[in-house]
Each structure stands twice: as structure tokens, then as C-alpha cells.
């Protein structure tokens, strides 16, 4: 595929990084309590194994998180969150120095340290700056791409904030406002994330998935993260451990809806899904 004026691109490491082919982002959680047990890699050797496996399977980038955002997760002090991320970043930069790494944090101070001290490439803020008002200015000063996700409230309160006039229209509108705020602070490279599972019911999640192409109006690359989430396993009456098949099915739906990045626990299956999608649209 070639880059056209309609192809989403970001400036990454001083070069244009295009999404003419959808990308796969592998999830690496340096936490003891992420909702999917298979993603937990608190120890350095476990991080190394997971990182190397994901890259060998074709991951285009990695998303490193040190603070679980599952409902009811305990608060993590800022110093502890940074210490977890630093341990993970040390491993990644040692075993895969060229890997593109996104830092999953809503704290501006943590994000800045990870970028300046470890060369993190992208900031992934689940609150789009709502939980730390310094984030937009920090990202603008650092001049790194950001992922802005739609959420209301905090991980502890978000599931009490699911009243929408229209889940799709309201999510796009609220996310557009956050994007505008970051652009005003000089952030040029923004990836939008609808925030599946965050301040949304199962029904609302599927309404947004059906209307995913409407997010094109934001004029940003689109990230979709639905891997093994409750919107898959609850309707099927299974657990997160059993939700791979549903994840694959919904990832294909996301690609058909215009997703440029799939954020996943299972890289091999996502890479194969992208390949099949590309064959369908060759």
C-alpha cells in the first residue's frame, strides 16, 4: 500500500510513521493485578520473555503499563508506578533497543520521566488529560505522540458515569474536545481511542463499535483496545482467559471500522487477523 493524503500518519522519532497497514500493539503489564492474568509480568525475566515473544510474533509497538485501570483496582503511588515502568523499560531498552514503546500512564510526571530517562516514544493517557491537568502541556513540551482515550471519572467511578444522550455521538464529541485542548498545547501527533469498557455499558460498547467509522471525523489515527474485555466475555458467559476467539472476531470488526492500531494481549492472533484483513482488501 502507498501513503495517500488520507493515510493517517504521525511523527515518530523524527520520521513519518504511517498506518497504510494497520499496526499491532502488544500489551506488557508490569503490574501484579491487571484484569487478565496472562498479561502480568512483574519480574524482569517475565518482561523479557513477553517482550521478545511479542516482537518475534510481529508486534509493531509495545504498550507498557504500571497501574491497573480495571474497576476497583487499588491506587498506586506515583513513585511506585514509575519504579515499575522503569524496570520494564530497562529490560526493553536492553533486549530490544529499537522497539517502539508507549507508556500507559495518566500522570504527567511519570510520563515525562519515562520519555526523558528511557526514551519512551508515545504517551498513552487513558484519561486524555482529565486526571492530570499538566499532561497536555507536558506532552506539548516533550513533542512526542499521545494516545488520548475517552473516559469519564476515574477507574473507580467510571462505571457509574454511563448516561449518554447517544453513546457514539457523545463519545466522539467529548474526545474531540480533549484533542482540541492537547492541540492548543502544541501536541501535533494524536492517536484517538474510543475507550471501550471505560464509562460504558456492554450495549454502549457495541453501539460504538458499530459506528466506529464515525471517528474518522477526528482526523487522527484510531486505536482500538478490546482484547479479552468484559464486553466479550460477559455476553458469552465465559472468562477473560477464554475470550481469545471473541477478541479475534471483534478485532476484525474493528479493522473493518477503520481501526489503525489493535492493542492486544495476543500478538500472534492479531497479526494474523491484520494479514487476513489486508488480503480481503488487496
Catalytic choice (50, 152, 178, 263): 263
What's the rounded Cα separation, in Å, for the pair 68 and 129?
17
Confirm whether 263 is a catalytic residue.
Answer: yes
**Domain coordinates in residue numbering, the chain:** 22-280
Q: Give the position of cell 533486549.
A: 95
Do residues 37 and 146 make contact, with C-beta atoms less than 8 angstroms apart? no
Q: What is the pLDDT of residues 224-249, one digit of tens each?
A: 999 999 999 999 999 999 999 999 99
Q: Write the DSSP assignment of 170-188 as a string of letters.
A: HHHHHHHHHHHHHHHTT--
Q: What is the pLDDT of residues 88-117, one digit of tens each?
A: 999 999 999 999 999 999 999 999 999 999
pLDDT at 128 > cutoff 80: yes
Predicted TM-score of the model (pTM): 0.94
Stronger pLDDT, 147 or 74, i.e. the higher one: 147
Report pLDDT for 41: 57
The top-scoring range by mean pLDDT among 4-13, 67-76, 92-101, 147-156 is: 92-101
Element spanning 244, H or E: helix 244-256
Catalytic choice (50, 229, 268, 275): 229
CATH class of 22-280: alpha beta
Strand intervals (E) in 20-175: 23-29, 61-65, 101-104, 122-125, 146-149
Amino acid at each position: 500500500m502507498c501513503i495517500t493524503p488520507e493515510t493517517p500518519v504521525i511523527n515518530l522519532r523524527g520520521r513519518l510513521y504511517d498506518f497504510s497497514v494497520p499496526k499491532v500493539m502488544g500489551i506488557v503489564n508490569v503490574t501484579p493485578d491487571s484484569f487478565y492474568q496472562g498479561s502480568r509480568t512483574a519480574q524482569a525475566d517475565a518482561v523479557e520473555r513477553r517482550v521478545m515473544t511479542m516482537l518475534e510474533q510481529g508486534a509493531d509497538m509495545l504498550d507498557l503499563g504500571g497501574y491497573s485501570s480495571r474497576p476497583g483496582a487499588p491506587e498506586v503511588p506515583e513513585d511506585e508506578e514509575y519504579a515499575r515502568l522503569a524496570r520494564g523499560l530497562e529490560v526493553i531498552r536492553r533486549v530490544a533497543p529499537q522497539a517502539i514503546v508507549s507508556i500507559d500512564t495518566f500522570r504527567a510526571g511519570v510520563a515525562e520521566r519515562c520519555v526523558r530517562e528511557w526514551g519512551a516514544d508515545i504517551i498513552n493517557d487513558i484519561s486524555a488529560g482529565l486526571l492530570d491537568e499538566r499532561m497536555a502541556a507536558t506532552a506539548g513540551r516533550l513533542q512526542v505522540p499521545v494516545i488520548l482515550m475517552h473516559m469519564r471519572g476515574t477507574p473507580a467511578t467510571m462505571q457509574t458515569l454511563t448516561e449518554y444522550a447517544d453513546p457514539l455521538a457523545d463519545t466522539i464529541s467529548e474526545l474531540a474536545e480533549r484533542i482540541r485542548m492537547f492541540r492548543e498545547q502544541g501536541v501535533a501527533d494524536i492517536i484517538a481511542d474510543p475507550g471501550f469498557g471505560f464509562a460504558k455499558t456492554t450495549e454502549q460498547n457495541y453501539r460504538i463499535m458499530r459506528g466506529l467509522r464515525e471517528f474518522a471525523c477526528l482526523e487522527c489515527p484510531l486505536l482500538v483496545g478490546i482484547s479479552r474485555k468484559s464486553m466479550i466475555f460477559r455476553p458469552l458467559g465465559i472468562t477473560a482467559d477464554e475470550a481469545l476467539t471473541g477478541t479475534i472476531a471483534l478485532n476484525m470488526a474493528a479493522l473493518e471500522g477503520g481501526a489503525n492500531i489493535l492493542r492486544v494481549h495476543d500478538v500472534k492472533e492479531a497479526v494474523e487477523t491484520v494479514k487476513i484483513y489486508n488480503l480481503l482488501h488487496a
